Amino acid sequence: MVDISDDTKPVRRHVEVTGVVRRRRWTDEEKGRIVAEAVAPGAVIAEVARQHDLMPQHLSNWIRAAKDGHFALQADDVPAFVPVVSVEPERRRRPAGRERTASIEITIGSVRVKVPGGVDARAIEAVLRAVKRVSA
């Protein structure tokens, strides 16, 4: 038995918009408050956009505009503090004479050159050219 359906006919749809189509205007303060919500740690742009009846792309454009300085983010009323980390001075942490610096060893033939870290590249080149001339 063969089942033949006629799904190939074009379907016309008629959409009727009833009511007023609104175009909202947002103040810079409102945009700043919404963008601040969207860029807060742990926030998801799509969720914030949905809460404010926005498209996520629209909110992303606002975030980009805020980064470009077109409007400022809404500041919290709560003062923010920067954490302070106390670090001992360098000289107290490492005892003198026990500092370890990176070094490399270069072997040319039977000659081994040990180069400590921080040596000028031109000096290393001059030494290696001299070693190469002697070992050749």
- C-alpha–C-alpha distance, residues 31 and 106, integer Å: 61
Q: 69 — phi, psi (to 5°)? A: 85, 20
Per-residue model confidence (pLDDT) at position 103: 81
The per-residue pLDDT string of the chain (136 residues; one tens digit each, 9 = 90 and over) reads: 555 555 666 667 776 766 666 678 888 888 888 998 888 888 999 999 999 989 999 999 999 988 888 877 766 555 555 566 667 666 555 555 556 677 888 777 777 888 887 888 888 888 878 777 776 6
**CA gyration radius for the chain?**
34
- In this structure, the number of other CB atoms found within 10 A of the CB of residue 39 comes to 14
Per-residue model confidence (pLDDT) at position 23: 77
Residue spans of the domains in the chain: they are 28-67, 103-135
